[in-house]
């Protein structure tokens, strides 16, 4: 059965896109069939796999999420192949900036994405659908979580990394009124520099927060992540022996195990 996992946190820069892209690559590299969905108007997930010209071509053409949603179409026809086996993507569009407005007039507006995804889920073509969420908590973010089985919360090990997490938990509770099955799979701690106190502080605070699984594989700050993004490649492909590529490989395994236990 296809599992839908979203990477969400209203805090920008927490590592949502990097984690979604890298975990997706690792899952596909180990044989799972993966569909990535770029849910953010900043196109960062799309840019993790395609150069700017190609990403803008998708965005300006109609092979993108916004076009599908605007047309009220099933997402099946908007899938693009990446350079990697078992790994496809639905690109985003800068027009996603007006998605809140578009959704406003729609009937059952929190469930538009879920309905558009139904054909893909029912077909069983993918083991995982991974959705990269924007740093907002509006109707579109609600759509992403309504369409998800699980949410992974990337949290940056920084002084402000945990700020606003309470809002996120409240938001998840309100999503559960529509999607009671939504489970918080775990917190993925990113951009860790163990020499800095923030890391210890972040881990201690998270441990004190009851009922939250924190993935034991946290991700260190690694310049390979930025070089990979600069080269429009997931870090696992850009430099597979880099620290972050290996760590994301381990995190992907941990995520798979956690899903099996649920």
Ligand X SMILES: Nc1ncnc2c1ncn2[C@@H]1O[C@H](COP(=O)(O)OP(=O)(O)O)[C@@H](O)[C@H]1O
| Residue numbers at the binding site for ligand X (CB under 6 A) | 12-18, 44, 135, 190-191, 219, 221-222, 225-226, 229, 244
How many CB atoms neighbour CB 227 within 10 A? 14
Residue 12 binding partner per list Mg ion, ligand X, none, with a CB distance cut-off of 5 to 8 Å that depends on partner kind:
ligand X
Q: Which is nearer to ligand X, 123 or 223 (CB)?
A: 223
Min dist. Cβ of residue 118 to Mg ion (A): 25
Number of residues that this document lists for the chain: 262
Cα end-to-end span (Å), the chain: 14
Min dist. Cβ of residue 223 to ligand X (A): 6
Does 92 engage in binding with Mg ion (CB under 5 A)?
A: no
Among 44, 143, 158, 202, binds Mg ion (CB under 5 A): 44
Q: Which is nearer to ligand X, 121 or 157 (CB)?
A: 157
Q: Which is nearer to ligand X, 23 or 142 (CB)?
A: 23
Min dist. Cβ of residue 217 to ligand X (A): 12
In 3D space, the residue among 123, 174, 111, 97 whose CA is nearest the CA of residue 148 turns out to be: 111
Residues 4-33 that bind Mg ion (CB under 5 A): 16-17
Q: Say which residue the tokens 């920008």 belong to.
A: 12
How far is residue 22's CA from residue 233's CA, in Å, rounded to a whole number? 10
Residue 13 binding partner per list ligand X, Mg ion, none, with a CB distance cut-off of 5 to 8 Å that depends on partner kind:
ligand X
Does 179 engage in binding with Mg ion (CB under 5 A)?
A: no
Nearest-10 Cα torsion for 204, 206, 212, 216? -70
Pairing type for strands 80-81 and 87-90 reads: antiparallel
Q: Are 6 and 14 in contact (CB under 8 A)?
A: no
Min dist. Cβ of residue 94 to ligand X (A): 16
Residue 114 binding partner per list Mg ion, ligand X, none, with a CB distance cut-off of 5 to 8 Å that depends on partner kind:
none
Q: Are 188 and 152 in contact (CB under 8 A)?
A: yes
């Amino acid at each position: 059965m296809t599992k839908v996992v979203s990477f969400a946190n209203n805090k920008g820069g927490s590592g949502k896109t990097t984690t979604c892209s890298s975990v997706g690559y690792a899952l596909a590299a180990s044989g799972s069939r993966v569909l990535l969905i770029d849910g953010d108007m900043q196109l960062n997930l799309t840019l993790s796999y395609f150069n700017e010209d190609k990403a803008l071509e998708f965005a300006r053409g109609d092979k993108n999420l916004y076009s599908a949603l605007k047309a009220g179409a099933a997402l099946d026809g908007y899938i693009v192949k990446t350079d990697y086996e078992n790994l496809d993507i639905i690109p985003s569009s800068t027009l996603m900036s007006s998605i809140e407005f578009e959704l406003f007039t729609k009937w059952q507006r929190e469930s538009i994405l879920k309905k558009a995804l139904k054909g893909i889920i029912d077909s069983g073509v993918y083991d995982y659908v991974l959705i990269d969420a924007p740093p907002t908590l509006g109707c579109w973010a609600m759509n992403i979580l309504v369409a998800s089985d699980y949410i992974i919360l990337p949290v940056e090990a920084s002084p402000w990394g945990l700020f606003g997490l309470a809002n996120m938990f409240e938001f998840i509770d309100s999503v559960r009124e529509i999607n009671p099955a939504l489970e918080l799979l775990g917190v993925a701690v990113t951009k860790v520099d163990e020499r800095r106190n923030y890391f210890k502080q972040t881990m201690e605070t998270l441990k004190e927060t009851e009922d939250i699984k924190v993935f034991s594989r946290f991700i260190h700050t690694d310049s390979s992540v930025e070089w990979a993004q600069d080269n429009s490649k997931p870090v696992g492909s850009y430099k597979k022996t880099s620290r972050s590529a290996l760590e994301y490989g381990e995190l992907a395994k941990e995520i798979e195990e956690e899903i099996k236990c649920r």
